[in-house]
Amino acid sequence: MGLNCVQTLFCLVLVRYVLAERKCCPPGQVLLMRKDVCWEPKTNVTEPVPLKCKMRPIRFIKNYYVNDKNELKLHLGEDFPDETVTDNSYCIGNHTTIRDVNMSNTKAVALVCADQEEEIIDDKILGYTMIVSVIFLVMTILVYSFLPELRDVQGKSIINFCTSLAFGLGVLVIMKLMVYNDMGWCAVRGKYNGAIFLMFIFVKCAITYYLSA
């Protein structure tokens, strides 16, 4: 009878620990940066994060807290209300690099499941294909810049066109491949990218007008 009481009490304590903390990894393990795995430095063994998401979770390293209802609150900016994440859609822990064997440079992080039904193309694939596009745009810029016979009004317009598009795609590459650490900087990159594409559209219209004239 006494043994059953001890087992029941242990189970209750364990369940409360899991529900209250929502830890991504068990004690002695940390999350690896850019990988959704728990890492044991002593044995160099990794295992998947128990958080089940339909797509890769987003990482937040600040501007979040857990309330009394075990809900994660995300502070996205002064102009936006705090976003609420239910207790089965997030976990918290520490992350570091694989070189930090002593776990002396860890940072607190929250993993949050993105509120999307499904992901058609992975963001990394989009980022890498955009890098290829940027490379070819830079090659086009170099060709038009070094050949004198191409440096007329139309050629200079094409150079500006490719430059604007390359800058815009470069910003999109950063947004697709970098970890979201600060939603404020994400908004700044988005606005900057919008301005770049407005410039791109203006130059495209100028080229179209020149060719039709």
Report whether pLDDT(80) > 90. no
**What are the tens digits of pLDDT across the range 89-121?**
888 888 888 888 888 888 888 888 876 554 545
Percent of the chain with pLDDT over 90: 6
pTM of full prediction above 0.75: no
Contact 118, 150 (CB under 8 A): no
Is the torsion defined by CA of 99, 89, 82, 122 positive or negative?
A: positive
**What are the tens digits of pLDDT across the range 133-178?**
999 999 999 999 898 888 887 788 788 778 878 887 887 787 777 7
For the chain, the domains span 23-112, 123-212
Report the alpha-carbon distance of residue 17 to residue 67 in Å, rounded. 15
pLDDT for position 13: 42
Q: Which long-range contacts (CB under 8 A, 24 or more apart) does 84-88 make?
A: 85/112, 85/113, 87/19, 87/22
**From the centroid of its chain, how far is CA 47?**
21
Report the alpha-carbon distance of residue 165 to residue 161 in Å, rounded. 6
Contact 49, 111 (CB under 8 A): yes
**What are the tens digits of pLDDT across the range 116-141?**
554 545 677 888 888 999 999 999 99
End-to-end CA distance of the chain: 95
**Structure token digits, residue 14:** 């364990």
16-30, 56-70, 110-124, range with the lowest pLDDT: 110-124
Report whether pLDDT(60) > 80. no
